[in-house]
Structure 1
Amino acid sequence: MNSTAPHTETPGRGVPGRFRGPFTRWPRSADAVLATALFLPTMLLEEGPGDTLVVRPLSEILHPALLLFLVSGAALYRRRSRPVPVLCVVLAAWAATLGSSHSTLGGMVIVALYSVGRHAEDNRWGPVGVVAAIVALTIDGILLEVPWGDIGFGAFVMSGAWYLGRRLRLRAGRAARLRQEQAAEARRIVTEERTHIARELHDVVAHRVSMMTVQAGAARMVAAEDPQGALEAMAAVEEAGRQALDELRHLLGVLRPDAGRDGLGPQPGLADLPRLVADVREAGLDVTVSGGLRDAVPARVDLSAYRIVQEALTNVLKHSGPGTRTEVRLRAESNGITIVVLDDGHGSAVGSVSTGHHGLPGHGIVGMRERALLLGGTLDATPRPGGGFRLTAHLPTKGEPT
């Protein structure tokens, strides 16, 4: 039996968003290298005196067992897509060499057991494969007069390899389900807000607008024959328009409450950033603003840009706490404006950053992204390598919003 356990790969699927090794980036190439790396020592090396490894003589290398080594190494290349058949092939090849100097397929068996735990859909084959491997290991140890302690250690390594693969598969499944739940929750939030806004706009405003349309049509029809009636109809249009505007302002105030601001006052824009920055500085956030805009932008872009910066600073204060160093960058481009909000995540509440940013998304980031998408823009929010978060929004200033 092979006295050394091979180094198996570190799977990257179970740790989303972290280091992705070669077995995740280039699975086919990495599996080919792994199969070759296991085949060569299995073919060239054998156990020597005192648990040492020595190079086989040429006559021992050119042995019929070489065909078994080749078949086992080639089978390992398919260990992801066909893990159970691969384990069967490797165990059969090992069984044919038990008790001989060519019984060095233990490393391939360990990798095959790990692959069954990591990639097999049917969980029943894992324990069966572990039992078969331990039986073969015991027979090989008895025939070669290996100490029972070494046999027990080999059995522990083989069962541990399968168990490790199984645990990583379960963890990867939980991570995949969490990502699906996050995506479903984000879609639910967007759908809920859009449905709410559409229903309220229809119920509150559509009636007034319909009245305005009817009154305006009546005024046009009687304008030549009954000027007084036309004036009365236009007065009704004016009154209905004022009521619709008041109700619309009230509705938007309910949907997007803005504490401390007069609901009937003008909407804020990028010109109001100094006051916003002063407010968050009073709350303890260390904010700096760089860049700026030379030309005026459409009102819808101006308002959305202000709201995105406001929500981003609120998120930093909420998840990282006072003392967090934050930078807001504004940059004008040929087809729009770019907003970048950076924070170092080192405030007094830094312990809650992971919970706030890696849990289910709330209305904050979803709402900011929805604002950008409605303008035909984009918004990305990603963790920074050294801690904190980076939010980048691009808002077009030309063309029609989507």
Structure 2
Amino acid sequence: MNPTAPQPETPDHGAPSRRRGPFARWPRGADAALATVLFALAALLVDGPGDSLTVRPAMDLLHPALLLIAVAAGALYRRRHRPVAVLCVALAAWAPTLGTSYSTMGGLVIVALYSVGRYADDHRWGPPGIAVAVGALVLEGLFHSTPWGDVGFGAAVFAGVWYLGRRLRLRAERADRERREQAAEARRVVTQERTHIARELHDVVAHRVSMMTVQAGAARMVAAEDPDGALEAMAAVEEAGRQALDELRHLLGVLRPDAERDGLGPQPGLADLPRLVAQVREAGLEVSVTGALPGPLPARVDLSAYRIVQEALTNVLKHSGPGTRAEVRLDDTGDGIAIEVLDDGHGAAVRSVSGAHEGLPGHGVVGMRERALLLGGGLDAGPRPGGGFRLAARLPVKGEPT
């Protein structure tokens, strides 16, 4: 058995591509650069007259307090992996400098609080961290007689950056959960479709074996009186056996069925395509078939080709509605068959031309692609530039499951 991984559905060309910034592409390098920049700002800049900032005098750069700033800034390098510890280090380094000209670590604390909200697994560390940071800010305001409005604004910034980080974490967790659920659903659909295919191929192989039994019995009965007829019957048995083995080789690549099919009739093929077209026309779909039907095909290819056309037309009717014009193109490629199903997307159920197949990336495409892959072929599906939808499948006659 060659398990087939779930294939991605048709891409949403209307969705904007996600741009990844430096903090997502190079997290370690970006965090190192951030720590270096914040250290330089905290070490070199000091409050000047009014609300201005001035460069710290060169002689003040030898003060031991700069070691505390260096420790707090260096801890930010681990902010993704140990966010709570980084916040504790930043607050502990800030505390001894309160009331002095070296109390310039507010920016470091802001980044540490954001990191707790964004990367900490336990959200309960956020409020205590905010409370301690606000308490330090209040003391700093008392030492420097800072207006209470400025202190309140700083407290709001502390709480806001933690909340922003927390919201981003929750959104990322929700997106990751949705991706896992979609992957699980895709695997479930693939498994269900493979089981369905196995049931159908089981019926095909059973039919071949039944023919072999009948022909072998006929050969035994006429062997004494009609040797030539017996040889012909045995030749037919040999041919049916080869076909059955060929079908079994593909059946082994599919999941074993768990239950019997409800229907007991023969499996459909491309010879039944006119009846299928007549049915969808009665439902209001304008369908035309172009291209000559290929010659005799192996039962597995004939069956899968019919099912792909059937599912494609069903999707057109479902997502575009009655009045849509669809075209089925069949082409004998020599080593297999090429199928193309096009529609204009102008049916009664269409809300807009671009949204005609808005709900199409679902079970139908997954099942059709699975059928093509199990034959060693492939399937592409996507919106057409001028509106509507296009589905193209390639089904080789002697392909191996991929």
TM-score with structure 1 length normalisation?
0.67
Cα distance change on mapping 1:279 and 1:121 into 2, 3 Å: same
Paired residue type of 2:97: T
**CA–CA separation in structure 1 for the residues paired with 2:173 and 2:76:** 23
Question: 185-194 or 368-377, which moves further after superposition?
Answer: 368-377
Does the 8 Å contact 2:273/2:306 carry over to 1?
Answer: no
Displacement of 1:371: 3.0
Cα distance change on mapping 1:298 and 1:261 into 2, 3 Å: closer
**CA–CA separation in structure 2 for the residues paired with 1:172 and 1:391:** 33
Correspondence list, 1:167-246, <5 A: 167-202=167-202, 204-205=203-204, 207-221=206-220, 224-227=223-226, 234=233
Paired residue type of 2:212: T
**CA–CA separation in structure 1 for the residues paired with 2:91 and 2:199:** 65
Displacement of 1:25: 1.9
Question: 164-173 or 65-74, which moves further after superposition?
Answer: 65-74
**CA–CA separation in structure 2 for the residues paired with 1:207 and 1:379:** 28
Correspondence list, 1:105-184, <5 A: 105-184=105-184
- For structure 1, which runs of at least 5 residues remain unmatched after alignment? 1-14, 266-277, 282-291
**CA–CA separation in structure 1 for the residues paired with 2:353 and 2:121:** 40
Paired residue type of 1:172: A
Question: 15-24 or 339-348, which moves further after superposition?
Answer: 339-348
> Is 2:17 aligned against 1:37?
no
Correspondence list, 1:254-269, <5 A: 261-262=274-275
Cα distance change on mapping 1:155 and 1:297 into 2, 3 Å: farther
> Is 2:375 aligned against 1:362?
no
Secondary structure of 2:78's aligned partner: coil
Paired residue type of 1:96: P
Does the 8 Å contact 1:343/1:390 carry over to 2?
Answer: yes
Displacement of 1:197: 3.4
Q: Which residue of 1 aligns with 2:352?
A: 349
Displacement of 1:210: 3.5
Displacement of 1:378: 4.7
Q: Which residue of 2 aligns with 1:269?
A: none
Q: Which residue of 1 aligns with 2:61?
A: 61
Paired residue type of 1:261: P
**CA–CA separation in structure 1 for the residues paired with 2:167 and 2:146:** 31
Paired residue type of 1:99: G
Displacement of 1:227: 3.1
Cα distance change on mapping 1:260 and 1:343 into 2, 3 Å: closer
Secondary structure of 1:100's aligned partner: coil
Displacement of 1:311: 6.4
- For structure 2, which runs of at least 5 residues remain unmatched after alignment? 1-14, 245-261, 279-284
Displacement of 1:261: 2.7
Does the 8 Å contact 2:270/2:305 carry over to 1?
Answer: no
Correspondence list, 1:76-95, <5 A: 76-95=76-95
Correspondence list, 1:290-309, <5 A: none
Does the 8 Å contact 2:119/2:169 carry over to 1?
Answer: yes
Deviations 1:209-256 (A, max 9, x none): 33323333444555542439976x959x99xx9xx9xx9995544xx9
**CA–CA separation in structure 1 for the residues paired with 2:73 and 2:338:** 53
Does the 8 Å contact 2:357/2:388 carry over to 1?
Answer: no
Correspondence list, 1:265-284, <5 A: 279=286
Does the 8 Å contact 1:32/1:77 carry over to 2?
Answer: yes
**CA–CA separation in structure 2 for the residues paired with 1:126 and 1:111:** 13
Cα distance change on mapping 1:53 and 1:355 into 2, 3 Å: farther
Displacement of 1:322: 11
Over the aligned positions, Cα root-mean-square deviation in angstroms equals: 5.2
Paired residue type of 1:73: A
Paired residue type of 1:214: T
Does the 8 Å contact 2:276/2:310 carry over to 1?
Answer: no
**CA–CA separation in structure 1 for the residues paired with 2:386 and 2:101:** 54
Does the 8 Å contact 1:339/1:393 carry over to 2?
Answer: yes
Deviations 1:172-227 (A, max 9, x none): 1111111111111111112112223323553x455543332333344455554243
Correspondence list, 1:1-16, <5 A: none
Does the 8 Å contact 1:336/1:394 carry over to 2?
Answer: no
Does the 8 Å contact 2:356/2:388 carry over to 1?
Answer: no
Cα distance change on mapping 1:150 and 1:365 into 2, 3 Å: same
Cα distance change on mapping 1:25 and 1:261 into 2, 3 Å: farther
Does the 8 Å contact 2:204/2:267 carry over to 1?
Answer: no
Paired residue type of 2:275: D
Cα distance change on mapping 1:24 and 1:381 into 2, 3 Å: farther
**CA–CA separation in structure 1 for the residues paired with 2:362 and 2:55:** 62
Does the 8 Å contact 2:379/2:393 carry over to 1?
Answer: yes
Cα distance change on mapping 1:342 and 1:99 into 2, 3 Å: farther
**CA–CA separation in structure 2 for the residues paired with 1:340 and 1:36:** 58
**CA–CA separation in structure 2 for the residues paired with 1:89 and 1:179:** 36
**CA–CA separation in structure 2 for the residues paired with 1:381 and 1:139:** 64
Paired residue type of 2:352: A
**CA–CA separation in structure 2 for the residues paired with 1:41 and 1:345:** 59
Displacement of 1:37: 2.1
Does the 8 Å contact 2:80/2:115 carry over to 1?
Answer: yes
